[in-house]
Amino acid sequence: MKKQISLPACLTYLSLLLLTACGGSNSMVQTQVTPSLQQGWELVWADEFAADKLDTQSWQIETGGQGWGNHELENYTARKENLRLENGMLVIEARKEKYGDNDYTSARIKTAGLREFTYGRFEARIKIPAGQGIWPAFWLLGTDISAVGWPERGEIDIMENIGKEAATTYGTLHGPGYYGATGFGGSKKLAQGKLADDFHIYAVEWDAAQIRWYLDGNLYHQASPASIPGKWVFDHEFFIILNLAIGGDWPGAPDASTSFPQQMLVDYVRVYKRKT
């Protein structure tokens, strides 16, 4: 991890259970004790989104409408209409509106240069939207991507969903020789209902030997240097991204069935390391 931080005393194991001093998120219903706290992990960084504005010591806001390598249709902005903290949540809101050369707006944030990590458990409690052409994501990118290029330093997709597959979350690795449609991935489908019906905990556990994907504490996909169809590029620092894309090569464009605005609600993002 590039920047080690000292957690406030209130972010202890006990306070995460009781939601005292620091407050966590708004209620015991919203913030659940996750499996991480019972499996030999310790918290090294978290954003509970309990403030009145985004923590710019942890997050950068990315803007623009150039398609983002996937022919996406939105223009990412820093406006409160698209990005805000509200009721103890990060709200990323996609709207159907003309902005620049784009017909939709949304938001995208990253921890690049601020909070970067090698190995650990990365999890977020998120309520995603649903609908044709809607593409929420929680993911990691190698820190030196701007110098080296994609996918040479790797991408770890912790959660992706395309709205037309409303019950399915995808977890995928991209690297040299396995990227885009040939990424090394797995998926988990709910037995009933849609992911957008409620909050879910999306997580990966990542170490030198393996990366494991979880939905609500249930393992559904694994990757190791021996299992992937190319070079393993996951032994260096990565940063976190949260975004809500509209359209693109994978989900396709919204259609008449897609309603707007759409919201991706993030209760928290937490990063743990193995206890020694």
pLDDT in tens, 151-169: 999 999 999 999 999 999 9
pLDDT in tens, 172-188: 999 999 999 999 999 99
5 located within any domain: no
**Across residues 53-72, what is the average pLDDT?**
97
Q: What is the structure's pLDDT at 153? A: 93
Residue 89 scores a pLDDT above 60: yes
237 catalytic, yes or no? no
102 located within any domain: yes
In SS3 terms, the chain reads as CCCCCCCCCCCCHHHHHHCCCCCCCCCCCCCCCCHHHHCCEEEEEEECCCCCCCCCCCCEEECECCCCCCCCCEEECCCCCCEEEECCEEEEEEEEEEECCEEEEECEEECCCCCEECCEEEEEEEECCCCCCEEEEEEEEECCHHHHCCCCCCEEEEEECCCCCCCEEEEEEEECCECHHHCEEEEEECCCCCHHHCCEEEEEEECCCCEEEEECCEEEEEECCCCCCCCCCCCCCEEEEEEEEECCCCCCCCCCCCCCCEEEEEEEEEEEEECC
Residue 226 scores a pLDDT above 60: yes
Q: Would you state the structure tokens that stand for residue 187, as one six-digit string?
A: 């998926």
Round to whole Å and give the CA distance between 186 and 171. Answer: 5
Q: What is the structure's pLDDT at 31? A: 39
111 located within any domain: yes
Residue 30 scores a pLDDT above 50: no
155 located within any domain: yes
Quote the number of domains for the chain.
1
Judge if pTM exceeds 0.85: yes
140 located within any domain: yes
160 catalytic, yes or no? yes
Q: Is the torsion defined by CA of 92, 247, 145, 138 positive or negative?
A: positive
Q: What is the structure's pLDDT at 6? A: 34
Q: Enumerate residues 6+ apart whose C-beta is below 8 A from 268.
A: 24, 25, 31, 46, 47, 48, 49, 124, 125
Q: Would you state the structure tokens that stand for residue 101, as one six-digit string?
A: 């050369």
Closest CA to 1 of 240, 241, 176: 240
163 located within any domain: yes
Q: What is the structure's pLDDT at 114? A: 98
Residue 265 scores a pLDDT above 50: yes
**Across residues 245-257, what is the average pLDDT?**
97
38 located within any domain: no
Round to whole Å and give the CA distance between 167 and 123. Answer: 19
Partner residues linked to 244 by β-bridges:
136
Round to whole Å and give the CA distance between 101 and 103. Answer: 7
Residue 34 scores a pLDDT above 70: no
Residue 110 is part of which domain span? Answer: 51-271
CATH of the domain at 158: 2.60.120.200
Residue 145 scores a pLDDT above 80: yes
Identify the active-site residue in 72, 74, 123, 155: 155
* Average pLDDT of every residue of the chain: 88
Q: What is the structure's pLDDT at 37? A: 53
Residue 12 scores a pLDDT above 70: no
Percent of the chain whose predicted confidence (pLDDT) is above 90: 83
Q: What is the structure's pLDDT at 243? A: 98
pLDDT in tens, 178-219: 999 999 999 999 999 999 999 999 999 999 999 999 999 999
pLDDT in tens, 103-132: 999 999 999 999 999 999 999 999 999 999
Round to whole Å and give the CA distance between 92 and 148. Answer: 29
Identify the active-site residue in 160, 165, 205, 237: 160
21 located within any domain: no
Residue whose entry in the numeric block shows the structure tokens 């929420």:
136
Residue 38 scores a pLDDT above 70: no
